[in-house]
Amino acid sequence: MILSNTSEYALRILSFMAKDPSRMYSAKYLIESLHISDKYLRRLMTDLSKKGFIKSIQGRDGGYIFDKSPAQISFADVIDAVEGIDKYTGCVLGFKQCSDENPCVLHNTWVAVREKFLSTVNQANLADLNFENIYKY
């Protein structure tokens, strides 16, 4: 996968929640629907709360609900919060000094891929998805 597992999970959870963005989702329901392990999902949800995407409601009948409008959350925001978008902005051959002015042998070719990736994850937001298919595992 291009993204890390954790980014993949974060996007999977948040895009699942975006289908009905004003309701509260319990950890249990998300775990059963999306087949992500209990403790791993809970830890990730705590992280996403701290980053301001969602808020958690503790105690009996608690769960998670969006704290920010899904329309305000781009995929790039989520990836950046979870694993850092910087991972995806560097030289494909790993040369630190590579730049537009000082390009590596593959720079111009690769920039096109990178721009496509970045523009897509920046423009795609959680409210603008095709909800005809919502997978549950």
Q: State the residues that interact with a second copy by CB under 8 A.
A: 1-3, 5, 8-9, 11-12, 15, 75, 87-88, 90, 92-95, 97-98, 102-110, 112-113, 116-117, 120, 124, 129-135
Distances (CA, A) of 33 to 23, 36, 41, 74, 115: 15, 8, 12, 23, 33
Give whichever of 59 and 132 is closer to DNA, judged by the CB atom.
59
Q: Does 45 bind DNA (CB under 7 A)?
A: yes
Site string for DNA, 6-25 (x = CB under 7 A): x--x----------------
Minimum distance between the CB of residue 16 and a second copy, rounded to whole angstroms?
Answer: 8
| Nearest alpha-carbon partner for 36 in 17, 21, 54, 52 | 17
- DSSP class of residue 100 equals S
* Residue 60: CA count within 13 A, CB half-sphere: 0
Contact of residue 131 among a second copy, DNA, none (CB under 5-8 Å per partner type): a second copy
φ and ψ at 88, to 5 degrees? -105, 5
Place of tokens 């969006």: 66
- Interface residues with DNA (CB under 7 A) are 4-6, 9, 26-28, 37-40, 42-43, 45-46, 49, 56-64, 83
